[in-house]
Structure 1
């Protein structure tokens, strides 16, 4: 370590941890007898201080959007109404919090909070200031959000100038996602029969004519002109003029004709009905079915509805999107809609996407609503090397509302017939998926090939609730993931899906966990097991673990108070290879910290002791020691300051210097077996206690991390637009603990790390990472990634491109993307090009893939 670095580190440590002093460094200046941190806050004006501006933290919500918040909405709908949540706890992904508070003259206002609880990706409960507003199946309380984070109303003139843009966006999205599941499908407005009918309790022979002028000829034909309305018990006709023959029961209407029923709204140039035959016929029509779960609509030259309610359209179009600019539509010479059966049949049809024909079929059967129907899915035809021509014809079986089966026979001309099945079952408290695949005999491999995968997630008890900004209650749940393949070449031969490409092993694990919140704090206990099956050749077997028992405890965090933590684990490790060590590992890690937080800065000292104990079995591993115990103290001090300034209209910029001192006098650990530990990437080590993951190794550390971060935040939305960090670790002593050896490392500093994340508009993200080696004077690692992800129904429009470089190891470029045709089907593709990598020292395309995903 050079003298300049040593002086700088010494100065920083002295400033942060020494008691009150009289400074002798400046002969003409006398410092007050105060702590350094208090001095920075309240000292003489010549000392630079963090700039603390009056600022509002969080987001104020629009009252009208809050009024539209209700149970049953999806996460996407809530995000479109209220924006992204201010707090989303990783331990409670089903909870979103919207919080607002202000800081003026160093004091904070009372936080205002709205909490949304999700279940099965839908809003289940809504809280305001900790009080229940509504839950699934109940009405919302009146004025429930009166004390919530609500934006003040502007004067009417100003509000009306903004309202049209904001409200139309929200309404469009709710209409779309609530009905169509396609964000580009915006509904037009159609007149409603229920809103206009006037006959109540009338019999089926009742007919009422309303118009500006009426008359009747000698044959008994009624004529009406001007704002004509002809109403029966179950329908209403509106037009410019009309005539009705009471003898034949035939109505003929012309000019701006509208035919309204509970389940049909129809606009036409002319047409009418025959009340005796109970039929309806119109020409040059636009139609809409408002009663369907997914309202369908379209245009037709002629529409005829027979006495059984079957709709005949010739020729016609059909879509669930906007008629003016449909995302997709069917154009056919003839379409028949069986609304009772929720099915439609179209003949000589073209499926158009964005007005471009993408598929022709002489016949197609399709559902009229979002309800699932049994039937054939989109087939697959392709070619795969030794497998030859591949033809797959999946068939979907809707067995029940919460249970279905997809059966997929696939013919490989070079191998044989593969039969696959996927079973799905879902309840309010569980979700199960079982996948099976079997080929009786592979003509290339010479044996049978098979695979299976099982996923089961269950909740046994959930009494969690928020009270006075604290959580109370218990959550008990389990997760099961299991799977297996017949041989190591299975994914190479049959892994033609996105989820299978690149799989190196199959993880089999089970976890039963219990989470408790109480006045004593947070306790998480679990028992589980983990096993692996290799899925590629040339790889090493991993340890199986059974059982693994964990207990974690944290008391309720308080500022300027001792906060207690405990992490414990008991695990038994086994291996199939006789030369691998096996046995029990016990880990205990109690710690205590004392956070000191003030506006603009924080300081967190922490002390703990980590104990790791091994009881190993004597086997062919050549171990000398069967009992190993290590107890190591861990001391750390973390400090952070936050400088803020307004950099523009609704733009806040922060400057955040950080330091982290870590002292761990760890001894030699060469005898420790490596069960589940490894080196973590350097980007995660700046403020980490241990540079290894797992508990088999604990780094020896006497070091100081210095870093500088900066963020640009939109204060109106609370979104972070860009954040960058640069940092380096300075070593105050040599290090001798490494993953596989105990060689002494004498460098005085780590590589310099830089990290940046940026958000462009709503869907673009840019991230970059770099490591510079100051000792050799060159870059060690560079990564940059540009991504686009826009929700599209149940799928996403996706574009990713990235560049990865690691000196002497890797240089690759990736491009991938997904373009949905509709809410279930997407065109996907990926190209991975290598200039040089650890797998191949030559320039080549490592992976290419294109296909359709359903």
Structure 2
């Protein structure tokens, strides 16, 4: 009985069939041939021939068999389907998993709604055909319905066709869901720890809770346990990290070594937020010796903060505690315990704005020979802001009223009670000009943006006030218009000065910024009377900034401050980037500071990332201190990445920055280390040669430029 492909010969609750030809015997047997398609609850079957025995409730197919459902696609020589139980059997198969990357061969595949998928005499890989860099062979693999893990028994692992590992039992993920199990390990070696092996274990506790346990075995130091716990709700999220080493064989300390970190962010209501960060460690050299994912060897403080925030259209409020864990022999920093801020803003008609900033804080540093203080600061401001498309003008006046109540040690030159009243006036104006120009054959828009600021601040003697959160600021071009010489409020310098700045930009036809050049300087109309801000010159250093997209591949960024007294460079940094693609880049950089805490910084460095071939990728970084004529960090990493696995190798040498028994940091000792990591691609692991650039002390700094 010839049929059209659309004709349905058998149709009931279990299956429907269409074929080019069918023969039916007394509604008991049905034979089909020619482009047979069988649709059932189990899936779709395609074959050249099929036989349905309705009395025995059996279906058999042969010839170019293909089976597919929502989990697997299989080609086979022979197939049988039990219509009563819904069990499907395929022989001599090749399969492709559909829920995740994975394929292979199997002597027999059994598929059932009740038991899932069972593969016998099976191989498995995530590599494409003909490029099986790695392969798993097992006596059986089972994928139970609804489970996110597959199970393999009597498993042999092959790399490049060579057996390297046997496991009687092995489980692997079969979905993109978070799931409990082993993560990929890291193998490393360094002067600090010897040979290290870290094996993370991920625990999917609940949809909004998880944890990672990572035992780390170090040949020179012992066994360390690293833990991470994360939680998430509609209004709150946070993370707790704890690291613990009970007995460090290389340390002179008798006590256990540990590090902990807790971070929380929460939304209490639409207007109220809360956040916290708490860090702590057992000793000064913990980060230097054992490393950290959150801090580096150059850090001197660990943050301890608790903050409550309120936001509205006109009123903002914050209450916070700011504390520190000091690393090494550094002066004790003052803690703000607590610090309350209240800021109010309101428009007075169409022209005038009123702003009221206030702060109440208590400072102490734990040293009984140092003063502590409670400070109240009130700063009402009345301003006239005028803005339009071609410029802006702002005139404002501020009253700065600060009260101190200081607890003083004996023989202190400070005063217990201080009231300081200062007035500040500010005039600021900026104008934007544009013109069309032709540059190198391209039509460009050039802008010219001059701006000026006159600032006057009255003087009051402040030598009877301690310095609790105040230090000298370093000026760049933006800082010239800041109107402050110090951080914090303990020192407010008198001023009678004019700041002049000029910026020019080049924009292409798409309004994309190709170049930005800024120059600025402060002109002083009188000497500062504040002893903390004495100066001899009548103008500030000349500050300049340049951002230049030379071409689609070349970028330049530079900042420089040039002394107005002797025309010497006070501070500068320069970076030149060549970026052919995301993984093809070279960066040359230089930074210089003539005097920072009595030291000179003069460093040059190069960072690069470059593919050597389709599979091989190299990254490197090198920094040299020109003042001491020595290399301070060298880093190289190489990655081999095939279609289905990746191997990363990293080697580096760097300043150790260890602290001695007195807390003094050494600047002459170096350490070296290597690390190795292997990743199966397609098993949820993520690898990136670009990420290697972020390792080490300096890391890769993306060009801060324009439309990036």
TM-score range, shorter chain: 0.7 to 0.9
Residues 544, 573 of structure 1: 8 Å contact kept = yes
- Shift of the 533–197 alpha-carbon distance from structure 1 to 2, 3 Å rule, reads farther
* CA apart distance, 1:526: 1.5
* 1:740-798 CA distance string (max 9 Å, x none): x353433334223224275987x997533222334323433221346799999xxx999
**What are the within-5 Å matches in structure 2 for residues 791-810 of structure 1?**
802-807=589-594, 809-810=600-601
**What are the within-5 Å matches in structure 2 for residues 162-311 of structure 1?**
202-204=12-14, 207-215=15-23, 222-226=31-35, 228-239=36-47, 241-246=48-53, 249-255=58-64, 258-261=66-69, 263-264=70-71, 266=73, 268=75, 272-275=79-82, 278-281=87-90, 285=94, 287-289=96-98, 292=99, 295-298=100-103, 300=105, 304-307=109-112, 308-311=115-118
Residues 343, 365 of structure 1: 8 Å contact kept = yes
- Shift of the 555–494 alpha-carbon distance from structure 1 to 2, 3 Å rule, reads same
Residues 258, 265 of structure 1: 8 Å contact kept = no
Unaligned 5+ runs, structure 1: 1-195, 463-474, 821-826
1:484 aligns with 280
- Shift of the 743–707 alpha-carbon distance from structure 1 to 2, 3 Å rule, reads closer
1:680 aligns with 473
* CA apart distance, 1:331: 3.6
* CA apart distance, 1:502: 2.8
Query: In structure 2, what is the Cα distance between the partners aligned to 1:333 and 1:437?
Result: 38
1:548 aligns with 2:339: yes
2:693 aligns with none
- Shift of the 748–483 alpha-carbon distance from structure 1 to 2, 3 Å rule, reads closer
* CA apart distance, 1:325: 13
**What are the within-5 Å matches in structure 2 for residues 485-524 of structure 1?**
485-497=281-293, 499-517=295-313, 522-524=314-316
Unaligned 5+ runs, structure 2: 1-5, 612-616, 634-653, 656-671, 678-685, 687-708
Residues 189, 673 of structure 2: 8 Å contact kept = no
Which stretch shifts more, 764-773 or 663-672? Answer: 764-773
Query: In structure 2, what is the Cα distance between the partners aligned to 1:815 and 1:785?
Result: 9
* 1:209-267 CA distance string (max 9 Å, x none): 213344469995613214x322224422235x333253683433545x54332x23526
TM-score by length of 2: 0.75
Query: In structure 1, what is the Cα distance between the partners aligned to 2:592 and 2:162?
Result: 40
Question: What is the aligned-residue RMSD (CA, Å)?
Answer: 4.2
Query: In structure 2, what is the Cα distance between the partners aligned to 1:778 and 1:198?
Result: 92
Report the 3-state secondary structure (helix = DSSP H, G, I; strand = E; otherwise coil) of the residue aligned with 1:685. helix
Of structures 1 and 2, the one scoring higher in RCO (CA 8 A, sep 6+) is 2
* CA apart distance, 1:548: 0.9
Q: Identify which of 136, 139, 142 aligns with 1:332.
A: 136
2:538 aligns with 747
1:732 aligns with 2:517: no
Residues 77, 92 of structure 2: 8 Å contact kept = yes
How many aligned residue pairs are there?
608
1:393 aligns with 2:203: no
1:710 aligns with 2:519: no
* 1:311-356 CA distance string (max 9 Å, x none): 428334337xxx6999x996433483524321135644468xxxx9
1:374 aligns with 180
* CA apart distance, 1:438: 2.6
Query: In structure 1, what is the Cα distance between the partners aligned to 2:7 and 2:474?
Result: 69
Residues 491, 503 of structure 1: 8 Å contact kept = no
* 1:690-717 CA distance string (max 9 Å, x none): 121111111222222222223345675x
* CA apart distance, 1:197: 14
Q: Identify which of 210, 214, 217 aligns with 1:404.
A: 210
Residues 415, 465 of structure 2: 8 Å contact kept = no
1:134 aligns with none
Higher strand share: 2
Residues 260, 266 of structure 1: 8 Å contact kept = yes
1:637 aligns with 427
Report the 3-state secondary structure (helix = DSSP H, G, I; strand = E; otherwise coil) of the residue aligned with 2:481. coil
2:690 aligns with none
Residues 727, 754 of structure 1: 8 Å contact kept = no
* 1:572-620 CA distance string (max 9 Å, x none): 1112223322111111111122111222121111211112221111313
Which stretch shifts more, 447-456 or 333-342? Answer: 333-342
* CA apart distance, 1:676: 0.7
Residues 421, 460 of structure 2: 8 Å contact kept = no
Residues 754, 771 of structure 1: 8 Å contact kept = no
TM-score by length of 1: 0.63
- Shift of the 570–513 alpha-carbon distance from structure 1 to 2, 3 Å rule, reads same
Query: In structure 1, what is the Cα distance between the partners aligned to 2:60 and 2:550?
Result: 61
Residues 188, 674 of structure 2: 8 Å contact kept = no
1:580 aligns with 370
1:661 aligns with 2:457: no
